[in-house]
A and B are shown apart, each in its own frame.
Chain A
Amino acid sequence: MAQITLNNVTKYYGSDLVVKEVNLKIEDGEFVALLGPSGCGKTTTLRMIAGLEKLSSGELSYDGHLVNDQPAEDRNVGMVFQTYALYPHMNVYENLSFGLRSRKVPKSQVRERVEKVAALLELSQLLKHKPKELSGGQRQRVALGRAIVGQPKVFLMDEPLSNLDANLRDRMRAELAKLHSRLAITTVYVTHDQGEALTLADRIVVMNKGRVHQIGTPHEIYSYPVDTFVASFIGSPGMNLWTLPWARQTNCITSGNSLRLPRSFESVLESTSETATFGIRPEHLSVSEPNEEEIEIFCKAEVVEHFGSHVMLHGRLESEGEPLLVARLDPDAVINRGQKVRLSAPSGALHIFDSVTSERLPTKELVLI
């Protein structure tokens, strides 16, 4: 196992900047997910950690030792690719043992270790099968087994579940979590699926356009997004974000006829200009009478979807530009299309972002949920 440190790691392809000054310290045995949309630089960062890409600048260390110039074959990392990258001409046993034989591990140990990993991943009956004879889930397990059989210091995974169907993906996700808790190998996991990142990782690194936006635990990322990108990217559906003008009233703060906040937010809003970006997650909205300490929102219902377990309301605020609103409401909420709806949310559920810089304003101490 190893501690990985990235210090101002930057990568250019020609003149294109793909990863910009990434600073990250991954602790021994930690499970870190690199999360972001396609092209955000997460796979390139992973490949730099693996040694498959050279750093344009910055420093990369394993256990405090600089590995910038260390070739991939000497880093002792195990990697699982999206396509599994199994050797198609070798059977499962040969696929699992290739790395050990490359490192000249004695034959008896090779067999012992392969059999142990095969038993762990329920592959013992498939050792003589070629990859084309295996199902997607079995191939996935062989790829995992191949990565762990060499007892790597670091375990790297590049969207390992994205080729599986939804059911199998859920099952494999649970298996991955179990495997990590059993082996406790430092793991870096690249995904664009926030569900995978939130459920598997100890910490999540949210990236966009080559830049790290936020590093934090799943709870921190979800509850205290540092900017509007993280706020909108995390959560399904993403956070409602409305950039609106605000005004002081006697007992409250309002934004036109559609938003009313408790007066306690004044101190936060004072640091902004006349407008601010207000954010509330769909699941924090409800159809109920708000009290004075709660947030009140008025909207016009456009689409109402009944999911059984909940109702999804798609509407628009009655403010300038009629910004969209999505609310995940109780299943017994009765709302008709075109109806004007009054919604409420606890004041702790409100996120305020600077409308110019998109950065979060310090409302953390106000968050009660």
Chain B
Amino acid sequence: MTSLDSVKVIDSQDQSLVFEEVIVKKRKRFLPASFNKIKERLVAYGLMLPALAVFFAFFYFPALFLIYISFFHWNIFSSQTKFVGLANFKVLFNQPLFWHSIITSAYYTLVMIPATVFLSLGIALLLKEGFTSRKGGFWRGAIFLPHVTPIVATSIIWVWIFNPNFGLANFVLKFLHLPALGWLQSQHWALPAVMIDSLWHSLGLYVIIFLAGLSNVPAQLIEVARLEGAKKYRIFRRIIWPLISPTTFFVVVLSTVSTWQAFSQIYTMTGGPHGGAGGPAFSTTTDALLVYQTAFIYEHFSLAAAMSLVLFLIILVLTIIQKIISDRRVFYR
């Protein structure tokens, strides 16, 4: 055997020894490691289970069940369930009130979103620029307060404010030498009155969100822009607005979802005296209100489920459109 061969032999022996050691080590490590992992996961799922069960029972199950019953003839008070395919949707699309409710919801959303963004951003800018420290804290608290009050309770107050005979709204109009309005009793003014209540209630949240967004705009960028001769509007349009675009996008998505789903304030202010349908001459009958009326006044649960599914699809499509627009317009740092 040459010296080179002996080296090779020793090498291969060493290698096999090393290889065996690795296998033994791996085997040793493999069993307890995988066992530990499974144990860890079981504990994790076990801890999550109560929360998941509640979430499933009150969120996923109703949502899935809603899709299910929209293809059936189903009533909560009857055990007879019959598959009807798209029949509920056919009935729905042939119902003029359904289309009216979609248009009302769209009108409500189209006014509410720009108004929400414009007013909440405006107030946030004022709060950021005009008020600092303790004063700022007071105004932030004051603006946010309506959002934490129950909307049903505050809507009752707004019903009183919009009373055509003794309400505060008409008192202010008279004071400004403007003609009094019928507000909730008027076909044209009922929905705007509800919008005012909704804006008053929701603005606080959006103001706080915008304040958070504005505080992320570095002060030095605004200072540089000032030094470069930019006036306030240009600084807002060219610096602040693009930099807060992720916040604006978030507010738009959030308010789109909440306005399409708005129910409590519309029902409280205009639903009750009109059989739950909303407003004089259905003027405040939004999709969400019609779902309620169809399900709980007329007990057409399957039809209401179909309506809800359509409402869900509308919100989904709107959100997708917003996402596509945001990918082009929103600047993420």
Which A residues are closer than 8 A to B by beta carbons? 50-52, 71-79, 81, 83, 85, 87-89, 98-99, 102-103, 132, 146, 150
Query: What A residues does B234 contact at CB under 8 A?
Result: 102
Say whether B262 faces chain A, with CB atoms less than 8 Å apart.
Answer: no
A98, B225: Cα distance in complex, Å: 8
Say whether B196 faces chain A, with CB atoms less than 8 Å apart.
Answer: no
B245 CB to closest chain A CB, in angstroms?
8
Pairwise interchain contact B227-A78, C-beta atoms closer than 8 A: yes
Pairwise interchain contact A85-B220, C-beta atoms closer than 8 A: yes
A330, B116: Cα distance in complex, Å: 74
Query: What B residues does A52 contact at CB under 8 A?
Result: 223, 226-227
Query: What A residues does B220 contact at CB under 8 A?
Result: 81, 83, 85
Taking CB as reference atom, which chain B residue is nearest A95?
B224
B239 CB to closest chain A CB, in angstroms?
6
Pairwise interchain contact B224-A79, C-beta atoms closer than 8 A: yes
A186 CB to closest chain B CB, in angstroms?
15
* Most chain A CB neighbours (cut-off 10 Å) among B223, B239, B243, B333: B223
* Most chain A CB neighbours (cut-off 10 Å) among B229, B234, B243: B229
Complex A-B: 5 CB contacts under 8 Å: A74-B229, A76-B229, A87-B225, A87-B239, A89-B242
Query: What B residues does A75 contact at CB under 8 A?
Result: 227
B195-211 CB mask vs A (1 if < 8 Å, else 0) is 00000000000000000
Given contacts A87-B239, A88-B243, A89-B331, contact A73 B224 (CB under 8 A): no
Given contacts A81-B220, A83-B218, contact A150 B229 (CB under 8 A): yes
B225-239 CB mask vs A (1 if < 8 Å, else 0) is 111111100100011
Given contacts A77-B227, A98-B228, contact A85 B243 (CB under 8 A): no
Pairwise interchain contact A99-B230, C-beta atoms closer than 8 A: yes
Pairwise interchain contact B229-A99, C-beta atoms closer than 8 A: yes
Taking CB as reference atom, which chain A residue is nearest B220?
A85
Pairwise interchain contact B221-A87, C-beta atoms closer than 8 A: yes
Chain B contacts with A in 218-268, Cβ cutoff 8 A: 218, 220-221, 223-231, 234, 238-239, 242-243
Which 3 A-B residue pairings sit nearest by Cβ, starting from the closest?
Answer: A99-B228, A85-B220, A102-B230
A24, B220: Cα distance in complex, Å: 26
Pairwise interchain contact A73-B223, C-beta atoms closer than 8 A: no
Pairwise interchain contact B229-A50, C-beta atoms closer than 8 A: no
Pairwise interchain contact A88-B333, C-beta atoms closer than 8 A: yes
B268-311 CB mask vs A (1 if < 8 Å, else 0) is 00000000000000000000000000000000000000000000
* Most chain B CB neighbours (cut-off 10 Å) among A83, A99, A102: A102
Contacts A83-B218, A89-B331, A98-B238 given; 13 further ones with Cβ under 8 A? A50-B223, A52-B226, A52-B227, A71-B226, A76-B229, A79-B223, A85-B220, A87-B239, A88-B243, A99-B229, A102-B229, A102-B234, A150-B229
B234 CB to closest chain A CB, in angstroms?
6
Taking CB as reference atom, which chain A residue is nearest B238?
A98
Query: What A residues does B239 contact at CB under 8 A?
Result: 87
Taking CB as reference atom, which chain B residue is nearest A132?
B333
Pairwise interchain contact A85-B223, C-beta atoms closer than 8 A: yes
Taking CB as reference atom, which chain B residue is nearest A156?
B227
A45 CB to closest chain B CB, in angstroms?
16
A72 CB to closest chain B CB, in angstroms?
5
Query: What A residues does B223 contact at CB under 8 A?
Result: 50, 52, 72, 79, 81, 85
Taking CB as reference atom, which chain B residue is nearest A83?
B220
Residue among B227, B231, B243 making CB contact with A89, cutoff 8 Å: B243
Taking CB as reference atom, which chain B residue is nearest A97?
B228
A88, B243: Cα distance in complex, Å: 8
Pairwise interchain contact A79-B227, C-beta atoms closer than 8 A: yes
A142 CB to closest chain B CB, in angstroms?
12
Query: What A residues does B229 contact at CB under 8 A?
Result: 73-74, 76, 99, 102-103, 150
Taking CB as reference atom, which chain B residue is nearest A72?
B226
A47 CB to closest chain B CB, in angstroms?
8
B16 CB to closest chain A CB, in angstroms?
51
Taking CB as reference atom, which chain A residue is nearest B231?
A73
Pairwise interchain contact A81-B224, C-beta atoms closer than 8 A: yes
Residue among B230, B243, B331 making CB contact with A73, cutoff 8 Å: B230
Pairwise interchain contact A85-B226, C-beta atoms closer than 8 A: no
Pairwise interchain contact B221-A85, C-beta atoms closer than 8 A: yes
A87, B217: Cα distance in complex, Å: 10
Pairwise interchain contact A150-B242, C-beta atoms closer than 8 A: no
Query: What B residues does A73 contact at CB under 8 A?
Result: 226-231
Query: What A residues does B228 contact at CB under 8 A?
Result: 73, 98-99, 102-103, 146, 150
A89, B245: Cα distance in complex, Å: 11
Taking CB as reference atom, which chain A residue is nearest B333?
A88
A98, B242: Cα distance in complex, Å: 14
Taking CB as reference atom, which chain B residue is nearest A103?
B229
A156 CB to closest chain B CB, in angstroms?
8
B95 CB to closest chain A CB, in angstroms?
47
Pairwise interchain contact A85-B331, C-beta atoms closer than 8 A: no
A78, B331: Cα distance in complex, Å: 27
Taking CB as reference atom, which chain B residue is nearest A47?
B223
Query: What B residues does A98 contact at CB under 8 A?
Result: 225, 228, 230, 238
A81, B220: Cα distance in complex, Å: 8
A85, B223: Cα distance in complex, Å: 9
A77, B223: Cα distance in complex, Å: 12
A150, B224: Cα distance in complex, Å: 12
B48 CB to closest chain A CB, in angstroms?
38
A71, B231: Cα distance in complex, Å: 11
A291 CB to closest chain B CB, in angstroms?
58
A71, B226: Cα distance in complex, Å: 9
* Most chain A CB neighbours (cut-off 10 Å) among B224, B230, B242: B224
B134 CB to closest chain A CB, in angstroms?
13
A69, B123: Cα distance in complex, Å: 28
A99, B228: Cα distance in complex, Å: 4
A50, B227: Cα distance in complex, Å: 8
A83, B223: Cα distance in complex, Å: 13
Pairwise interchain contact B227-A72, C-beta atoms closer than 8 A: yes
A78, B333: Cα distance in complex, Å: 25
A22, B35: Cα distance in complex, Å: 73
